[in-house]
């Protein structure tokens, strides 16, 4: 297998390997970005919830039932609950959840339901917190949130809708009735993907490029030092170079080719060749024909050089290019 064939086989394999590395890297990066966006939205909503609770506690202008206020600000335990009974001055109400939940989660969903009448969520503030959380996670690009209340959807940035390529987070229910829902979207840029590509993937890609470069250098390094075009014969070292490529050839075939080359396109009689190679062999003509066929196979990859038969006389070497040098 010559160097040209090796290069043709190696190049697509190397390219496919690099594409596979990039595809795996970007798939992992995209998954990490989506996870970070989900976490950013949940953190923004949690901060907004804590801020509302703090406002509810410190703002004296808000008057509610003291029992309700004490409940909203009461500490929670680590237990799981299925229902919660709230006692106020007016009545006793029992709230039942679909499943047993950690008390912190259940109380938050119930608080959101109660706070909606006292201090409702502000979608614009959630959006600002969401933008800040994305910036902390080095996620750049357009982003926004949808805050749904009793099926009336409010968009925080008027006139801007997420594009088809934008990632949408899952819809998060905020209260126990699921009438308050929050969803975020981010049309992140390519730079964000690059930030989340693991360093190991960059290392593997650089290593693959380095190995590929070394192999290409080894395949073509010596070849580039050879002349670009021409037929070069070195009988001393039994070497044949055609257009800079070293060809495998036997000593006798090289000697016959050299005889044809020396005539520069003139016909060489069969007797002139056989007298040098097989001076006393009665089967010299048959052997010459066999060696001519072998030489033609060597030259078949180089259309600029071919051996032409002159019927009844001999052979000559037809060259469409002029060689600059012949080493004898």
pLDDT band at 207 (very low <50, low <70, confident <90, very high): confident
> For the chain, what is the mean pLDDT?
82
Per cent of the chain over pLDDT 70 is 84
Pairing of strands 231-234, 268-269: unpaired
Residue 226 has pLDDT above 50, yes or no: no
Q: How far are the Cα atoms of 20, 194, 206 from residue 17, in angstroms, in the given order?
A: 5, 19, 12
Residue appearing with tokens 């600002």? 128
Higher pLDDT: 15 or 125? It is 125
CA distance 195 to 182: 27
User: 231-319 sits in which CATH class?
Assistant: mainly alpha
Per cent of the chain over pLDDT 90 is 25
Higher pLDDT: 60 or 279? It is 279
Assess contact for 76 and 107: CB atoms under 8 A.
yes
Comparing 115-129, 194-208, 292-306, the range with the smallest average pLDDT is 194-208
Tokens of 328: 């004898």
Q: Residue range 296-300: average pLDDT?
A: 91
- Predicted confidence at residue 52, as pLDDT, reads 87
Tokens of 91: 């009545």
Residue 276 has pLDDT above 60, yes or no: yes
Q: Where are the domains of the chain?
A: 3-62+119-195, 231-319
Assess contact for 260 and 316: CB atoms under 8 A.
yes
Strand partners, 86: 93
- Predicted confidence at residue 62, as pLDDT, reads 65
Q: Which residues of 295-328 are buried (b: 16+ CB within 10 A; e: fewer)?
A: beebbeeeeebebeeeeeebbbbebeeebeeeee
pTM of this structure: 0.58
Higher pLDDT: 220 or 104? It is 104
Phi, psi of 237 (to 5 degrees): -100, 5
Residue 319 has pLDDT above 90, yes or no: no
pLDDT band at 175 (very low <50, low <70, confident <90, very high): confident
Residue 118 has pLDDT above 60, yes or no: yes
Residue 151 has pLDDT above 80, yes or no: no
* 19-53 pLDDT tens trace: 888 888 889 999 999 999 999 999 999 999 989 88
CA distance 220 to 199: 32
pLDDT band at 327 (very low <50, low <70, confident <90, very high): very low
Residue 321 has pLDDT above 70, yes or no: no
Highest-confidence range of 15-24, 128-137, 230-239, by mean pLDDT? Answer: 128-137
């Amino acid at each position: 297998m010559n160097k040209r064939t090796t290069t043709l086989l190696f190049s697509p394999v190397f390219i496919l390997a690099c594409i596979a590395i990039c595809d795996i890297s970007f798939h992992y990066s995209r998954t990490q970005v989506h996870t970070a966006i989900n976490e950013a939205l949940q953190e923004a909503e949690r901060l907004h919830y804590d801020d509302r609770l703090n406002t509810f506690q410190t703002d004296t202008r808000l008057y509610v039932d003291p029992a309700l206020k004490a409940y909203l600000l009461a500490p929670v335990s680590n237990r799981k609950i299925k229902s919660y009974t709230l006692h106020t001055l007016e009545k006793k109400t029992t709230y039942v959840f679909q499943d047993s939940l950690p008390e912190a989660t259940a109380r938050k969903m119930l608080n959101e339901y109660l706070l909606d009448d006292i201090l409702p969520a502000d979608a614009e503030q959630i959006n600002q917190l969401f933008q800040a959380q994305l910036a902390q996670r080095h996620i750049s690009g357009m982003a926004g949130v949808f805050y749904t209340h009793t099926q009336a959807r409010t968009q925080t940035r008027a006139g801007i809708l997420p594009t088809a390529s934008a990632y949408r987070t899952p819809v998060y229910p905020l209260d126990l009735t699921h009438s308050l829902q929050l969803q975020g979207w981010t049309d992140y840029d390519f730079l964000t993907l690059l930030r989340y590509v693991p360093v190991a993937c960059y290392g593997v890609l650089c290593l693959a490029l380095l190995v590929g470069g070394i192999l290409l250098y080894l395949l073509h390094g010596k070849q580039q030092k050879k002349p670009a075009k021409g037929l070069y014969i070195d009988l001393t070292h039994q070497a044949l170079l055609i257009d800079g490529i070293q060809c495998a050839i036997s000593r006798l075939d090289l000697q016959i080719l050299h005889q044809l080359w020396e005539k520069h396109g003139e016909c060489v009689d069969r007797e002139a060749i056989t007298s040098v190679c097989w001076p006393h062999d009665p089967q010299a003509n048959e052997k010459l024909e066999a060696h001519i066929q072998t030489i033609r196979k060597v030259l078949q990859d180089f259309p600029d050089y071919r051996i032409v038969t002159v019927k009844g006389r001999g052979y000559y070497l037809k060259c469409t290019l002029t060689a600059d040098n012949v080493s004898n």
